[in-house]
Structure 1
């Protein structure tokens, strides 16, 4: 068999390299020459290879796969990727331990992260959860403090059980999660042998605008398997990467892990009258009252080619929703909507969403620009909104979320211009000016406005007229328009001066 020809080694700029083992020196004993730019490039890049690790969920494993819809849930959501039985969507999943650093052992007693990125035709939907249906705290003020208690003592730099139990003992809402953590399910045998949960309450809404509260459950088809403390200690002594190795090798041999996705559904009326706060992250919904409804099957069937690029740089955030799925009043979720995206911008950069593993598979059009590592191409439209430039991205009312009716409070997007008078005070100010001030105002405006497009000039003239007819006429004349013609074109009733 003919040997495969090796690819040509190049610099990061693409220049072919002739010798990658010997530095350029003045004579065989040196010194080095600064013109050896390929050596400098290697040194400089090496010095910058590490990025900040995640504050939580620092160590993880990931894989690609598919999600296939197996049950019709369109009565609850209009999400396109859930629109019909049999529909498949590409996914990327990252599993993790929560408290440990990047060098932690996989088989430690800890909560496991379970984050799924659905690459849908309407954008990415990230379901960022854990292997437990609840969490330690219900108020976001306590989240940062909780994580501090699970990390290293600021003086000794050691993990400290006194810190952990001091916090838990002062926060009785943690008891549900603590009980799970120290139960037989506290140390999963592998990522394949555990369930995943969205944990929070989310919203779903259908194409009729009907709103539902939901919880997400991923049930492993491999069965639940866990480790005792003794088994975990033995495994850690032999191999600190047990979960990573198990997931990678299972996929490589074609033993693709699968989970069945279910939802629990609660109507707003049920939520309003429920006997405890249904948005409390420390509590579950009883399955007898809110049974699991099958949605589809998640299968992982492809390993990443580059761990750093595809797993370490993968960024999941609870704020990545698609039409038909949204947040809820859960206080912890509300805080996470901001904190996760902010953490990614700090750790990976403001354009982290343009990295391949995070990039949506659908077209993306927005008004965000620039920043480190910007890669947007062909975005010739302006970077402000609203605008009247032909071909610029526009919002579409069909994607507006339904209002939340939370008792007497209605959560909605209220029109900030409705019932507001934007003209009277501007007109009153104009009428305070003497003739010289009015003329100078009109000329100054015309000198600037005259450089805008004709349609923009006429649109703005309409506003001047609504403030004061004389105001509009002076600016129109300064722009070279016939006021009578402009008034007819704009439909201005100038029979009574302002």
Structure 2
């Protein structure tokens, strides 16, 4: 039996097809409140798209702890093998708008929300272990180069390579982006990384630095340029089609969560900055330690509610997991939550996708769309400290151990040094094979082709510092394109 259609206020609706008019051919009456409500709501159906990561795909599932890491962290989710919690993930392109094609060459966002018994824990990363820059002061400038030019309203390779040439630490990430790994077949066939350096501490208060790795269990698969171009000509929604279709068919994608662990004293001995987001930790020195398995087994019943409204932020952490001196992470702790307040509203964490599965008690007050009422544990306790025993109080037992810091507060300029070229040099010369190197040369040359000669030369100087063969290979490929 069908249900009765109502207004948003619950009143029954008599007609849902035609406007109220003065006679069958007359003008529309202003008192047709149902018409006004439908039009007004439609005008407000779209919320601002994300500044980055606008185009995304998501799924719900379960995380299960498979290995004991309680020697590193007091987080209750990791206290016992077999512990589980619900999870919500969103994967995304970085630069493209909401209508961008899924199979474009781009970095992919990889975010997971763990609904733990101690609150929500978010890991907000990418499908690469590094990023283009190490200091968030340049993040707005970087993102502007990835978006549309203010005059042409087109993407600008000139701006991209000009910025990258001015920040040579970006060559590591650009190399990955232009390599065979630049276009994953779909979310199920790429790894994920927390990318940043985080911290964990155990019951003794001992801290270690950690990196989070999500190793996909389906195998790595990527598209070559021609394959991606042919696919985009047929569909712009290939990731959503693949992900949604696989889960509907019962083919549930899985990722194994691993961590790398570095002791505080070891961090002081590295010949690179372990808190620099443009650097990886060597696996031979800091091997992957398995932790648990993520299985995504449910497509959200409402995509907008659970995927578009999903708000991930590294500020969502739980006792036993903390931050590090990573400059990009420190800034993202603020900027991500603030972006959600702007895009979704003051009380964005009350939305179903973001609401924790545990009781919430805080002293935030009022604001638009506050439909929860008092949450402090006592109706009279709207401030703190107060006289009411039942009201929410801080728990010193979950305090983080002190973080050792040293040095004078200043804006330090990191001198360009060979450390920025060591890891991309190894990636280019030792990890990537001959055939992939040739494709890397051609892909990068194609991306550089619209650039001016000065920008080309600035970028060639960077490539030459990585490896002379890198510069020569891209120069040769670009010459072929120019003379074609």
Give TM-score scaled by structure 1 length.
0.80
Structure 1 residue aligned with 2:256, among 252, 260, 269? 260
Q: Distance in 2 between matches of 1:7 and 1:73?
A: 51
For the residue of structure 2 that corresponds to 1:116, the secondary structure is: strand
Q: Which residue is 2:183 aligned to?
A: 187
Find the counterpart in structure 1 of residue 394 from structure 2: 395
Q: 1:301 aligns with which of 297, 300, 310?
A: 297
1:72 aligned residue (57, 68, 71)? 68
Q: Is the 8 A contact 1:258 1:299 kept in 2?
A: yes
- The residue number in structure 2 matching 1:86 is 82
Task: Please tell me the root mean square deviation across aligned C-alpha atoms, in Å.
Answer: 1.1
Summarize the alignment of residues 215-364 of structure 1 with structure 2, pairs less than 5 Å apart.
215-364=211-360
Q: Deviations over 1:56-94 (max 9, x none)?
A: 000000110000000000000111111111111100000
SS in structure 2 of the partner of residue 404 of structure 1 = coil
Whether the 8 Å CA contact 1:272–1:406 is kept in 2: the answer is: no
Q: Deviations over 1:407-466 (max 9, x none)?
A: 589xxxxxxxxxxxxxxxxxxxxxxxxxxxxxxxxxxxxxxxxxxxxxxxxxxxxxxxxx
Matched, 1:47 2:46: no
Q: Determine the C-alpha separation between the residues in 2 that align with 1:204 and 1:375.
A: 35
Question: For residues 347-405 of structure 1, what are the alpha-carbon distances to aligned partners after superposition, in whole Å with 9 as ceiling and x for unaligned?
Answer: 11111011111101100000001111112135414222222223110011101111112
Trace 1:9-48 onto structure 2 (pairs within 5 A). 9-48=5-44
Partner in structure 1 of residue 155 of structure 2: 159
Q: Distance in 2 between matches of 1:106 and 1:79?
A: 36
2:451 corresponds in structure 1 to none
**Structure having greater relative contact order (Cα 8 Å, sep ≥ 6):** 2
Contact 2:62 2:295 in 1 (8 A): yes
- For residues 25 and 355 of structure 2, what CA distance do their matches in structure 1 show? 49
- Counterpart of 1:202 (choices 198, 201, 210) is 198
Do the aligned partners of 1:64 and 1:303 also contact (CA within 8 Å) in 2?
yes
| Cα distance in 2, alignment partners of residues 219 and 129 from structure 1 | 13
Report how many residues are paired: 405
Distance (whole Å) between structure 1 residues aligned to residue 220 and residue 232 of structure 2: 20
Deviation at 1:406, TM superposition (A): 3.5
The structure with more radius of gyration = 1
The verdict on how the C-alpha distance between 1:381 and 1:70 changes in structure 2, with shifts beyond 3 A counting, is farther
Deviations for 1:94-120, whole angstroms, at most 9, x for unmatched residues?
000000000000000000000000011
Alignment correspondent of 2:134: 138
1-structure distance, mates of 2:280, 2:36: 56
User: CA separation in 2, counterparts of 1:375 and 1:285?
Assistant: 45
CA distance in 1, matches of 2:293, 2:57: 20
3-state DSSP of counterpart to 2:246: helix
Q: Give me the whole-angstrom Cα distance separating, in 2, the residues matched to 1:243 and 1:82.
A: 32
| Separation of aligned partners in 2, 1:273 and 1:257 | 39
What's the secondary structure of 2:345's corresponding residue?
coil
- SS of 2:12's partner is coil
Measure the CA separation in 2 of the matches of 1:288 and 1:337.
30
The C-alpha deviation readout for 1:456-491, integer Å capped at 9, x for no partner, is: xxxxxxxxxxxxxxxxxxxxxxxxxxxxxxxxxxxx
Instruction: Give 1:8 shift.
Output: 1.7
Q: Residues 149 and 345 from structure 1, CA distance in 2 versus in 1: closer, same or farther, beyond 3 angstroms?
A: same
Question: How far did residue 181 of structure 1 move?
Answer: 0.3
Please state if 1:118 is matched with 2:103: no
Do the aligned partners of 2:374 and 2:382 also contact (CA within 8 Å) in 1? no
Matched, 1:384 2:383: yes
Q: d(CA) in 1 for partners of 2:200 and 2:312?
A: 20
- Distance in 1 (alpha carbons) for counterparts of 2:380 and 2:49: 36
Q: Which runs of 5+ in 2 are unaligned?
A: 409-484
The corresponding residue for 1:453 is none
Q: Is the partner of 1:405 in helix, strand or coil?
A: coil
Partner SS state of residue 185, structure 1? helix
Cα displacement (A) at 1:315: 0.5
